[in-house]
Amino acid sequence: MKPFTLRQAQPEDAARLTAIAFAAKRHWGYPETWIQQWRADLTISHQNLVNPTLVVCLEDEMAAFCMVSGGDGEWDLEHLWVHPNFMGMGMGKTLFNAACDLCRKRGGRSLTILSDPNALEFYLKMGCVSQRSVASAIPGRTLPELRYSL
């Protein structure tokens, strides 16, 4: 397996990052009506990229990314998506650890994650602690909120 690289996202990456987010969300088999309800949340714009955003590339192809926001010690993991073609290669773990390092360097003490239920096991394996369940925009569905001490 070829090594992958990590870099800061650039404004011109927004469309590809959006495509990664949509592909990863669709990977879990959600109905297309739900995917369309999440369109605004999954779309990465140039304005979103004012937040620290890291991209994993395999050769020249963007394969995964994460975005954090916050300050004053409290940070949020806004996005962490791995394109399905690249799942299982360690990119999610690399991004999570890099996001934690970035937040620590900016004075972060904790990272909050509002997770998709399908990603819960990953975050627990990374050492996150489940805090509570939060109502989703989809009626009758809840999302796990997790916290990671930096």
Q: How far apart are CA 38 and CA 32, in angstroms?
A: 10
How much is the pLDDT for 71?
Answer: 86
What's the distance, Cα to Cα, between the start and end of the chain in Å? 31
Q: How far apart are CA 121 and CA 4, in angstroms?
A: 24
Q: How far apart are CA 70 and CA 112, in angstroms?
A: 10
Average pLDDT over residues 46-52: 92
Residue 2 confidence (pLDDT) above 90? no
**Which DSSP state fits 118?**
G
**Which DSSP state fits 90?**
S
Q: What is the pTM of this model?
A: 0.95
How much is the pLDDT for 9?
Answer: 97
| Contact residues for 15 (Cβ-Cβ < 8 A; gap 6+) | none
How much is the pLDDT for 70?
Answer: 94
Query: What are 14's two structure tokens?
Result: 């927004």
Q: Between 1 and 145, whose confidence is greater?
A: 145
How much is the pLDDT for 14?
Answer: 97
Query: What are 75's two structure tokens?
Result: 């940070």
The answer to whether the Cα torsion of 63, 5, 9, 60 is positive or negative is negative
Average pLDDT, the chain: 96
pLDDT in tens, 50-82: 999 999 999 889 999 999 999 889 999 999 999
How much is the pLDDT for 32?
Answer: 96
- What are the chain's domains? 4-108 (3.40.630.30)
Residue 1 confidence (pLDDT) above 70? no
Average pLDDT over residues 136-142: 92
The two beta strands, 74-82 and 61-71, are: antiparallel
How much is the pLDDT for 21?
Answer: 98
